[in-house]
Amino acid sequence: MKQEFFTLRWTGAELQLIDQTLLPGTIAYIELNSYEAVSDAILHMKVRGAPAIGIAAAYGMVLAAKAAPATDLSSFRAALSQAASHLVKSRPTAVNLHWAVERLLSQAEASDALAIPDIIHALEQEAVLIHDEDRQINRAIGENLLTLLKDGDTVLTHCNAGALATSEYGTALSVFYLAQEKGIRLKAYADETRPRLQGARLTAFELLHNGVDVTLICDNMAAVVMAQGKIDAVIVGCDRVAANGDTANKIGTFNVSILAKHFGIPFYIAAPTPTIDLCCTSGADIPIEERSSREITMIDQHRIAPEGIKTYNPAFDVTPAAHITAIVTEKGIVYPPYTEHLSKLFE
């Protein structure tokens, strides 16, 4: 995989992130040295994508630990709890954020008998492990996705579930990079993904940068390219998968699933197991983040809608399990009935 940029990097003292709000025009990195700065970067989507958010939050907890009182265990634990509460409120839909924070809190509890510097070291090791695990997960998902495609296929994707949304390879986009490594020809169609244009700014950027044959389309063109027989499969990422297979992903994914079902095109979810929330019964229980009206009414500080217009801006929607052909994880490909088969992944 050609990737010359990096999404996030831990130096031991700070978290370095590519600022995704500046792409594709500018490749610039920011340096974060507090959990508040990490939370702000998540909130303002300088880092985004469920796996990347989880990794960033894990390092945010490490930064909180390094800044916490180092002599009093009670005060130290209170500082960690405060940081955890702050981080999980950054964005509510992606379960990886909460999962990573809870994993760091559990590690702190398991290390309770240690001195505070040793607890901090254990937390840092755990965050690095989460980062490393994500790389392995992404590659395994790509390998599994590749078994569902054949040489010459064209895949439609929505939003960005690539290297920019993870540590490396990505989830939905991992299949393109694995195909390159194996000499298999795949083409991509990328929806622009309004209102923040992650498909146009990020997916198109990274696929083109890495030599993948990619075509950018507006969101409202998906039906046309499907009707013209140009799409062999749809692969998207996810921010949370409920126990019954209902899946939350970037707004507009539900629309694409309806079209795929109508045209008989397989619709696949690329889902790392940390994104599967068996405590969430169905999509109705997934909290959906609503964002600022400015994302709809403004583009690059230029107003595109009348002043004072009412807006509704959910960042995600839920694709019903009935629209999903398979959920592809690092542990294997899961087919319906999802309520029965998803739980087996954790046995």
Q: Which residues contact 60 (CB under 8 A, 6 or more apart)?
A: 15, 32, 35, 38, 39, 83, 87
Instruction: Establish whether 300 is a catalytic residue.
Output: no
> For residue 251, which of 199, 303, 211, 300 has the smallest C-alpha distance?
199
Catalytic residue among 134, 191, 219, 239: 239
E strands, the chain, in order: 8-10, 15-18, 29-32, 154-157, 187-191, 213-217, 233-236, 240-242, 247-250, 267-270, 276-277, 298-299, 302-303, 316-319, 326-329, 332-334
Q: Which amino acid is at 187?
A: K
Helices (H), 44-115: 50-67, 73-88, 95-110
Residue 119 three-state SS = helix
CA distance 289 to 5: 29
Looking at residue 285, the DSSP 8-state letter turns out to be: G
CA distance 50 to 329: 14
CA distance 293 to 313: 6
Place of tokens 């997916």: 203
CA distance 89 to 191: 29
> Could you give the residue numbers annotated as active site?
239
